[in-house]
Amino acid sequence: MNDLVRVIPHGLGLINPDENALIRKWGEEAFGQLEICKQFKYHCGADYCVLAYCGEVFVGFAAVSKREVSVGGEPVSMGCVGGVITSPDYRKMGYGSIVMNEVKRLIYDALNCEIGGLLCEEQTVPFYEKLGWARSCEAALVERDGGKVEWPEAFMYHAASDFEIDGREIDLCGLPW
């Protein structure tokens, strides 16, 4: 069966209604009951959506958008990755990796970002580490109720090897995504 990846500009609005409904269903199953999802408001919208297919079956998704954040007080352009999800019937078959490889290409080649960033639960850290992402030792600040709080779970980033993050304040300059 041929695997295929499609990239669609903008957010969910341009994705066909059946696929849109599946993304929402998988998301609701995976994240709907999580405390962390109830505690924060999240940024909606994306610059690109990535969709993966097993033959003609839609099996995986992620979204990425560009945002200027602050690392150690300096502006840094970040490709913010969110909504990463594989259909429950197709997990551990490589689709999450296929989606994340395309996401990485978009971060650097299409969006011209300096680094990639994502917010995830502790239990998903090993998945991203296998793909070359690093867990930040520093907490990341996100917006909540008009103020700034530390993101309580993992902040992960992908950057060139000479990009220094340790010991620098990370302000994600807006809502989590």
Ligand X SMILES: CC(C)(COP(=O)(O)OP(=O)(O)OC[C@H]1O[C@@H](n2cnc3c(N)ncnc32)[C@H](O)[C@@H]1OP(=O)(O)O)[C@@H](O)C(=O)NCCC(=O)NCCS
Q: Which of 22, 46, 85, 103 binds ligand X (CB under 6 A)?
A: 85
Q: Which of 55, 73, 126, 146 binds ligand X (CB under 6 A)?
A: 126
Whichever of 45 and 75 has its CB closer to ligand X, that residue is 45
Q: Which of 5, 77, 97, 173 binds ligand X (CB under 6 A)?
A: 97
CA pair distance 1, 133, nearest whole angstrom:
29
Least distance from ligand X to the Cβ atom of residue 51, Å = 13
CA pair distance 84, 167, nearest whole angstrom:
28
Whichever of 2 and 167 has its CB closer to ligand X, that residue is 2
Query: Which of these segments, 71-79, 103-111, 122-130, 164-172, binds ligand X (CB under 6 A)?
Result: 122-130
Query: Which of these segments, 33-41, 64-72, 79-87, 104-112, binds ligand X (CB under 6 A)?
Result: 79-87
Task: Verify binding: residue 86, ligand X, rule CB under 6 A.
Answer: yes
Residues in Cβ contact with 86 at an 8 Å cutoff, skipping those fewer than 6 apart? 26, 52, 59, 60, 61, 93, 95, 96, 99
Of 158, 115, 163, 167, nearest to 137 by C-alpha is 167
Cβ pair 114, 70 in contact under 8 A:
no
In one-letter notation, the amino acid at residue 105 is R
Q: Spell out a b/e string for 129-165, using b for 16 or more CB atoms within 10 Å of the CB, else e.
A: eeeebbebebebbbbeeeeeeebebbbbbbbeeeeeb
Task: Verify binding: residue 103, ligand X, rule CB under 6 A.
Answer: no
Q: Which of 96, 116, 117, 176 binds ligand X (CB under 6 A)?
A: 96
Task: Name residues contacting ligand X, limited to 30-69 (CB under 6 A).
Answer: 30
Count of residues that bind ligand X according to CB under 6 A: 17
Task: Verify binding: residue 127, ligand X, rule CB under 6 A.
Answer: yes
Residues in Cβ contact with 104 at an 8 Å cutoff, skipping those fewer than 6 apart? 116, 131, 132, 158
Instruction: Give the footprint of ligand X on this chain (CB under 6 A).
Output: 30, 84-86, 91-97, 120, 123-124, 126-127, 130
